[in-house]
Amino acid sequence: MTGTKQKNGFTLVETVVATFVFSVVVIASQGVFGKALMVIKSGAAAQRVQESVQYALELMARDIRVSGISADQEDATCTLSQLTLVHPVLGMVIYRHDSTAVERTVDGLSGHITADDVLINSLSFCVRHAGFDGEQTRVTILLDAIYNSEKASEQKELRVQTTVSLRDYETE
């Protein structure tokens, strides 16, 4: 078996080609991984905004359903910036926009009901049939929120509108 050449390893050219192919694959997968990470962060930001707004709306809706609303708050043009309720247990409850958050005031004690990393751009209320016209009182809440992030790709905006009717409905 003389004259047969045995290969015991890789040549320099094979090693360079393999390294080049491996580098191309790693760089391509790194770009895909980076995009996937950006999508995950964006989804988390959107979820954070939605959770904060949903909590605020649920709290407002719960208080609106059981409270009384005075006829002087009747506003069908949705320009009411503050909603004052007469709650049967808590007393006077006020909801308003406090520059960056939704503020809830119960008997003089105020606090924000939205997360600190969620900015509330606007909050307004439409109150219909708050008088004694035989119609059920309805309150429409309009809210614009955005996730507070330095990166533009993570800023997720959410606009919500919901209508809540009072449970105290008297028929003739």
Domains of the chain, by residue range, sit at: 12-165
Max CA distance (Å), the chain: 114
- Give the confidence band of 125 by pLDDT, cuts at 50, 70, 90: very high
Residues 6+ apart with CB under 8 A from 124: 78, 79, 80, 81, 97, 141, 142
Could you write out the DSSP letters of every residue in 1-18?
-TTPPPP-S--HHHHHHH
The pTM of this model reads 0.76
Give the DSSP H/E element, type plus range, for residue 163.
Answer: strand 157-165
**What's the pLDDT tens digit per position in 23-71?**
999 998 898 888 888 888 888 888 989 999 999 999 999 999 999 888 7
Q: For residue 131, what pLDDT is reported? A: 67
Q: For residue 166, what pLDDT is reported? A: 85
Percent of the chain with pLDDT over 90: 48
Question: Contact at 8 Å (CB) between 65 and 57?
Answer: no
pLDDT over 60 at 159, yes or no: yes
Which two three-digit tokens encode residue 113?
């009901």
